């Protein structure tokens, strides 16, 4: 093999496009040309289309369903109802949270938009006509949309199917509308800290119901091949292997006869983790008709019926000294899970990782309690661009710290610095049981404050406030500071599983004879750029250029088993598996090189893309040469070939962190909030592709802006959901999105093979409190303590009005 080896070592490194390189996204070649292949692009011969009849009521008995007229609609082949699914025992399906969810309404509907019947037709138009022709007779029932009223004595029982069953998936239920109570920490000690404290602040903080709203809605194509007995399902699945296992368990089709394929996915953000009635109905329809069946929800259906996020009603209490040292934290949450508990959390954590609520602070004692309740709202509670319930926790602690600072008349940045866990305290055991792997919070905060020139901003704000009081301006300036610690990379199999499936992940690497490679992972990109970044990890590990490595994900027939992509787990878990699989290859490559160079293994050292003899680098074998030898030579004591697989069970979570500062100008007369500047400093450990990190941060911040400034899924008192179209649900465009400034520090994770921590969700976790704190800060000197999100123009104007600031 005559390698065209670049001359210098630097050129060899550059050629790899490995870790730390802002390699351009390989996915974009097809996306920018309109050549992506999404679920709705899949067209099979004879394919049928399914569409749902959905409930207009929030809570009603279904007295009868008349399908006669619908079946007469030309093109309509079948109308499936719960009665048809019952004999198959498929009218309910398991949720990821240990509950069950009605696939089609079983005698009653529990939320507006709930699936009542599934119409199967030869084309999409006929299916829609069929839906319109199905006559459903409802009897309206009283609606509960306020979680605070769910457990009232006289509250109507929502879930008749589990009424009286007082033992739930997460312990005892204290009311028919109660799902679970979960707690962590030292209640007695926390109560004592609060009782003994010099200063206590308490606040009710609600994180409103929002929705991930991915640009591509959920959908699938199910195809049952009656000849081979094999079921293939293409779908918008963030966890294809988990879907395969669940599908096998509930349909009794053997798992090897089910093939789940996630093609290109247009954004997930947690919305595509769960299992939806559309999947089950499409599979049933395909089995019944023998033809492929496609179901793709429209935007209203996506916002109305597939998984929402948040709806956390939190009470925070902080105990502190007069100097602002926090001595205790208590958090209680009323969690509105909607009609079915379809959260996507690791099984043992019904409130996710909400116990990260002590944040970046050295809080000696803390307690959290969470009550989950049913209401007449859509099910869900997924992690919308955050690890499980982490953004709720970060929002609570970051608002509480600001409220404490205000009470003590301290600067919000200063009080944070005072309470940070110090660099030398890592690994740090939090009061709520987590072992923070690493961190350097003071350095990150100082860098953020310097970069944005915090002192100058505060001076400008003082001038602005004086000018406002003199009547010279109608604009108030707000500065929002937030510091967050995430907990991502779920997770260690010893305590993290979903439906019993351990949350490890996997990578298989095959090096081909001519020195290129194919890698397959148990994860699935929904826009994160896996095909770009994972080859970079391999390139740095084994010296094959990233462009010579193809990444495949999302086909359960070929990819190794993994738990999928959400909760910023791909890099911490599958990224670690990738590095470990590469190291197995490298170990074998070293033996091959030793044979070829006729030296002992230990006489060799690794250098960029080759093994060389120590002290004599002229004697070397590149990985490309080694790969060729692995397939062409008989090497004593070694199997031919060069491939490896790794299943990685992470020893701990990773704890990325960041310091975010936002500056807003608020027009008190219109309530308009203009984000003048926003600086996001992220520490995600080792950085694999800085450009992709920056892109992730931009996207997450934009979603944070959306949540803080407008996203709101609300229900009226009779059960109507508002915010179900993009006319009402706020999705920022370039017009509303400010310029994001980004920065970083780099504190590698000590337990991750390459020190990476994950970053996809940090900007949402930190962005929400930073922007909300900025809005509050603008009015803080006028006496505002807390007001609920979203801070849309109307609410901000109402706040200004209530403070007597409007004209």
Contact between 330 and 190 (Cβ < 8 Å): yes
Residues that are catalytic: 238, 385-386, 761
> Based on CB atoms, which residue is closest to other proteins, 53 or 706?
53
Residue whose structure tokens are 């953000």: 269
Q: Does 37 bind other proteins (CB under 8 A)?
A: no
Residue of 248, 443, 451, 720 that binds other proteins (CB under 8 A): 720
Q: Does 208 bind other proteins (CB under 8 A)?
A: no
User: Which token pair is 509?
Assistant: 């690497």
> Based on CB atoms, which residue is closest to other proteins, 30 or 63?
63
Q: Does 56 bind other proteins (CB under 8 A)?
A: yes
> Based on CB atoms, which residue is closest to other proteins, 304 or 533?
304
Residue of 15, 54, 91, 389 that binds other proteins (CB under 8 A): 54
Q: Does 69 bind other proteins (CB under 8 A)?
A: no
Stretch that binds other proteins, among 42-50, 393-401, 642-650, 724-732 (CB under 8 A): 724-732
Least distance from other proteins to the Cβ atom of residue 724, Å = 4
Q: What is the enclosing helix (H) or strand (E) of 505?
A: strand 505-511
Q: Does 66 bind other proteins (CB under 8 A)?
A: no
Beta carbons within 10 angstroms of residue 275's beta carbon: 23
Residue 17 CA to residue 547 CA, distance in Å, equals 8
Least distance from other proteins to the Cβ atom of residue 93, Å = 24
User: Which token pair is 126?
Assistant: 């006929």
313 forms beta bridges with 206, 334
> Based on CB atoms, which residue is closest to other proteins, 558 or 722?
722
Instruction: For residue 649, give the 3-state DSSP assignment.
Output: coil
Binding mask 107-126 for other proteins (x = CB under 8 A): -----x--------------
Q: Does 722 bind other proteins (CB under 8 A)?
A: yes
Residue 235 CA to residue 221 CA, distance in Å, equals 6
Judge residue 171's burial from the number of C-beta atoms within 10 Å of its C-beta, 0-12 exposed, 13-18 middle, 19 or more buried.
exposed
Q: Interaction with other proteins in 290-319: which residues (CB under 8 A)?
A: 300, 304
Give the dihedral sign, CA 608/613/614/617. negative
Binding mask 540-579 for other proteins (x = CB under 8 A): ----------------------------------------
Least distance from other proteins to the Cβ atom of residue 101, Å = 21
370 forms beta bridges with 182, 333
Q: Does 205 bind other proteins (CB under 8 A)?
A: no
Q: Does 197 bind other proteins (CB under 8 A)?
A: no
User: Which token pair is 387?
Assistant: 């690890």
Contact between 800 and 668 (Cβ < 8 Å): yes
Q: Interaction with other proteins in 726-765: which residues (CB under 8 A)?
A: 727-728
Backbone angles phi, psi at 395, to 5 degrees: -65, -45
Least distance from other proteins to the Cβ atom of residue 721, Å = 6
User: Which token pair is 738?
Assistant: 């400010």
Stretch that binds other proteins, among 206-214, 339-347, 368-376, 712-720 (CB under 8 A): 712-720
Residue of 718, 731, 784, 805 that binds other proteins (CB under 8 A): 718
Please work out the total of residues on this chain that contact other proteins, with binding judged by CB under 8 A. 20
Least distance from other proteins to the Cβ atom of residue 130, Å = 11
Q: Which has the closest alpha carbon to 682: 577, 767, 590, 620?
A: 767
Q: Write a three-state SS string for 660-721.
A: EEEEEEEECCCCCEEEEEEEEEEECECCCCHHHHHHHHHHHHHHHHHHHHCCCCEECCCCCE
> Based on CB atoms, which residue is closest to other proteins, 54 or 272?
54
Residue of 152, 183, 202, 716 that binds other proteins (CB under 8 A): 716
Output the CA–CA distances (angstroms, integers) from residue 29 to 32, 539, 551, 692, in the order listed. Answer: 6, 21, 15, 15
Least distance from other proteins to the Cβ atom of residue 377, Å = 13
Q: Interaction with other proteins in 439-468: which residues (CB under 8 A)?
A: none
Judge residue 226's burial from the number of C-beta atoms within 10 Å of its C-beta, 0-12 exposed, 13-18 middle, 19 or more buried.
exposed
Least distance from other proteins to the Cβ atom of residue 133, Å = 8
Least distance from other proteins to the Cβ atom of residue 71, Å = 16
> Based on CB atoms, which residue is closest to other proteins, 56 or 513?
56
195: CB partners within 8 A, 6+ apart:
none
Q: Does 61 bind other proteins (CB under 8 A)?
A: no
Contacts by residues 780-787 (CB-CB < 8 Å, ≥ 24 positions apart): 780/406, 780/478, 781/465, 785/203, 785/403, 785/406, 786/203, 786/204, 786/205, 786/399, 786/403
- Bridge-based pairing state of the strands 76-80 and 167-168: unpaired
Contact between 790 and 710 (Cβ < 8 Å): yes
Stretch that binds other proteins, among 162-170, 585-593, 723-731, 744-752 (CB under 8 A): 723-731
Least distance from other proteins to the Cβ atom of residue 117, Å = 11
Give the dihedral sign, CA 351/353/358/359. negative
Judge residue 635's burial from the number of C-beta atoms within 10 Å of its C-beta, 0-12 exposed, 13-18 middle, 19 or more buried.
middle
> Based on CB atoms, which residue is closest to other proteins, 120 or 162?
120
Residue 543: alpha-carbon gap to chain centroid: 32
Stretch that binds other proteins, among 346-354, 581-589, 591-599, 715-723 (CB under 8 A): 715-723
Least distance from other proteins to the Cβ atom of residue 300, Å = 7
Stretch that binds other proteins, among 51-59, 220-228, 357-365, 492-500 (CB under 8 A): 51-59
Least distance from other proteins to the Cβ atom of residue 671, Å = 17
> Based on CB atoms, which residue is closest to other proteins, 132 or 362?
132
> Based on CB atoms, which residue is closest to other proteins, 103 or 117?
117
> Based on CB atoms, which residue is closest to other proteins, 616 or 722?
722
Backbone angles phi, psi at 600, to 5 degrees: -80, 150
Residue of 232, 236, 570, 724 that binds other proteins (CB under 8 A): 724
Stretch that binds other proteins, among 130-138, 456-464, 500-508, 511-519 (CB under 8 A): 130-138
Contact between 525 and 234 (Cβ < 8 Å): no
Residue 498 CA to residue 489 CA, distance in Å, equals 14
Strands (E) located in 321-365 = 326-336
Stretch that binds other proteins, among 32-40, 48-56, 407-415, 492-500 (CB under 8 A): 48-56
> Based on CB atoms, which residue is closest to other proteins, 54 or 624?
54
Residue of 346, 492, 719, 790 that binds other proteins (CB under 8 A): 719
Q: Does 721 bind other proteins (CB under 8 A)?
A: yes
Least distance from other proteins to the Cβ atom of residue 446, Å = 47
Q: Does 285 bind other proteins (CB under 8 A)?
A: no
Strands (E) located in 198-307 = 199-210, 219-225, 230-235, 258-261, 293-296
Binding mask 136-175 for other proteins (x = CB under 8 A): --x-------------------------------------
Output the CA–CA distances (angstroms, integers) from residue 289 to 67, 82, 129, 281, 322, in the order listed. Answer: 18, 17, 20, 12, 72
Residue 260 CA to residue 277 CA, distance in Å, equals 16
Least distance from other proteins to the Cβ atom of residue 641, Å = 58
Q: Does 64 bind other proteins (CB under 8 A)?
A: no
Binding site residues, other proteins, CB under 8 A:
53-54, 56-57, 112, 131-132, 138, 300, 304, 716, 718-722, 724-725, 727-728
């Amino acid at each position: 093999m005559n390698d065209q080896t670049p001359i210098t070592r630097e050129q060899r490194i550059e050629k790899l496009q490995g870790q730390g390189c802002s390699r351009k996204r390989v996915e974009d070649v097809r996306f920018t040309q309109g050549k992506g292949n999404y679920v709705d692009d899949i067209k099979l011969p004879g394919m049928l289309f399914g569409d749902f009849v959905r409930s207009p009521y929030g809570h009603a008995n279904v007295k009868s369903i008349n399908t006669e007229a619908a079946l007469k609609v030309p093109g309509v082949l079948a109308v499936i109802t719960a009665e048809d699914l019952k004999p198959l025992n498929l009218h309910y399906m398991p949720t990821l949270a240990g509950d069950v969810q009605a696939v089609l309404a079983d005698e009653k509907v529990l939320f507006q938009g709930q699936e009542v019947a599934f119409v199967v037709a030869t084309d999409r138009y006929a299916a829609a006509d069929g839906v319109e022709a199905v006559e459903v007779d409802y009897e309206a029932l009283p609606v509960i949309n306020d979680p605070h009223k769910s457990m009232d004595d006289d509250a109507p029982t929502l879930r008749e199917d589990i009424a009286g069953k007082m033992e739930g998936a997460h312990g005892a239920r204290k009311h028919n509308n109660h799902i679970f109570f979960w707690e962590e920490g030292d209640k007695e000690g926390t109560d004592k800290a609060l009782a003994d404290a010099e200063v206590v602040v308490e606040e009710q903080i609600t994180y409103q119901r929002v929705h991930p709203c991915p640009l591509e809605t959920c959908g699938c194509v199910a195809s049952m091949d009656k000849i081979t007995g094999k079921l293939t399902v293409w779908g918008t699945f963030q966890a294809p292997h988990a879907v395969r296992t669940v599908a096998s368990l509930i349909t009794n089709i053997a798992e090897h006869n089910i093939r789940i394929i996630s093609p290109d996915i247009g954004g997930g953000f947690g919305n595509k983790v769960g299992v939806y009635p559309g999947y089950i109905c499409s599979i049933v329809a395909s089995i019944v008709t023998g033809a492929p069946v496609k179901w793709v929800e429209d935007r209203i259906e996506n916002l109305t019926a597939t998984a929402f996020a948040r709806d956390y009603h939190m009470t925070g209490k902080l105990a502190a000294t007069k100097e602002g040292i926090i001595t205790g934290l208590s958090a209680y949450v009323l969690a509105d899970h909607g009609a079915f508990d379809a959260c996507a959390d690791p099984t043992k954590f019904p409130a996710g990782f909400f116990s990260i609520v002590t944040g970046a602070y050295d809080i000696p004692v803390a307690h959290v309690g969470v009550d989950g309740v049913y209401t007449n709202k859509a099910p869900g509670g997924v992690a919308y661009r955050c690890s499980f319930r982490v953004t709720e926790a970060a929002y609570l602690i970051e608002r509480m710290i600001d409220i404490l600072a205000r009470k003590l008349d301290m600067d919000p940045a200063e009080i944070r610095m005072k309470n940070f866990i110090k660099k030398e305290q890592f690994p740090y055991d939090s009061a709520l049981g987590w072992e923070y792997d690493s961190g350097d919070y003071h350095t990150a905060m100082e860098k953020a404050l310097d970069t944005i020139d915090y002192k100058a901003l505060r001076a400008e704000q003082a001038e602005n406030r004086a000018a406002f009081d003199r009547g010279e301006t109608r604009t108030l300036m707000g500065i929002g500071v937030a510091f967050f610690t995430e907990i991502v990379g779920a997770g260690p199999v010893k305590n993290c599983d979903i439906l019993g499936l351990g949350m490890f992940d996997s990578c298989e690497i095959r090096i081909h004879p001519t020195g290129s490679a194919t890698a397959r992972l148990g994860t699935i990109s929904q826009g994160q750029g896996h095909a770009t970044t994972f080859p970079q990890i391999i390139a740095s590990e084994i010296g094959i250029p990233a462009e010579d490595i193809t990444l495949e994900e999302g086909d359960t027939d070929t990819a190794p088993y993994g738990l999928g992509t959400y909760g910023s787990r791909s890099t911490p878990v599958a990224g670690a598996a990738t590095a470990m699989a590469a190291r197995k290859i490298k170990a074998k490559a070293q033996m091959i090189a030793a044979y070829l160079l006729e030296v002992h293994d230990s006489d060799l050292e690794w250098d960029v893309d080759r093994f060389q003899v120590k002290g004599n680098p002229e004697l070397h074998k590149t990985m490309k040469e080694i790969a060729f030898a692995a397939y062409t030579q008989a090497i004593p004591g070694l199997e031919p070939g060069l491939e490896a697989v790794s299943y990685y069970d992470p020893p701990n979570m990773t704890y990325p962190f960041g310091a975010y500062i936002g500056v807003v100008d608020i027009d008190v007369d219109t309530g308009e909030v203009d984000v003048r500047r926003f600086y996001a400093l992220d520490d995600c450990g080792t950085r694999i592709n800085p450009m992709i990190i920056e892109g992730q941060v931009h996207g997450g911040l934009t979603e944070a802006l959306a949540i803080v400034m407008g996203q709101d899924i609300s229900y009226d008192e009779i059960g109507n959901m508002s915010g179900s179209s993009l006319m009402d649900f706020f999705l920022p465009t370039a017009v509303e999105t400010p310029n994001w400034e980004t920065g970083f520090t780099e504190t590698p994770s000590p337990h991750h093979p390459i020190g990476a921590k994950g970053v996809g969700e940090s900007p949402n976790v930190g962005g929400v409190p930073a922007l909300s704190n900025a809005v509050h800060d603008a009015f803080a000197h006028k006496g505002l303590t807390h007001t609920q999100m979203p801070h849309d123009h109307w609410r901000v104007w109402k706040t200004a009005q209530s403070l007597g600031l409007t004209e």
